[in-house]
Amino acid sequence: MSNRRNAFIYTISIFAMICLYNSFPSAYGQKNEQMNAKDLFEYHCVTCHGGDGKGTKRGQALKAPNLSDANWQASRKDEEILNSIINGKNKMPRWSDKLKEEEIQSLARYVRRLAPQKRP
């Protein structure tokens, strides 16, 4: 009787360990690397800029521009956008200590994709 019980506990423990082991890499390692620009933006930037770049209440209170506005887009060079994300600007936080260079670059490209799409 107690043998069967031990075997049962043993099986459950193995199963639990496998589940735990499998959940780690996806939660920490691999997933971060696979995060694309949209995920990064949604994770770090939408609190102020909103999913569409127009700016949340909080962002607007801090004077975040409407990133989806064509005039704003035209007023900034790629390097300026990149530089602002790397070093911050006024109330905009700097991201160089939190994000990798290639993540920042893909975010800068993502900001361009918030512009109104010209349909031919």
Q: Under the rule (CB under 6 A), what is the footprint of ligand HEC?
A: 44-45, 47-49, 59, 62-65, 67, 76, 80-81, 84-85, 89-93, 95, 107, 111
* Closer Cβ to ligand HEC, 11 or 101, answer by number: 101
Q: How far is the CB of 53 from ligand HEC (least distance, A)?
A: 8
Tell me how far, at minimum, the Cβ of 13 lies from ligand HEC, in Å. Answer: 42
Amino acid letter for position 13: S
Distance CA 23, CA 30 (A): 11
**Separation between Cα atoms, residue 52 and residue 101, nearest integer Å:** 23
Rounded CA separation 38/98 (Å): 17
Give the up-direction half-sphere exposure of residue 24: CA atoms within 13 A in the CB hemisphere.
Answer: 5
Q: How far is the CB of 89 from ligand HEC (least distance, A)?
A: 4
Structure tokens at 72: 């704003």
Residue 68 vs 81, nearer CB to ligand HEC = 81
CB nearer to ligand HEC: pick between 30 and 75: 75
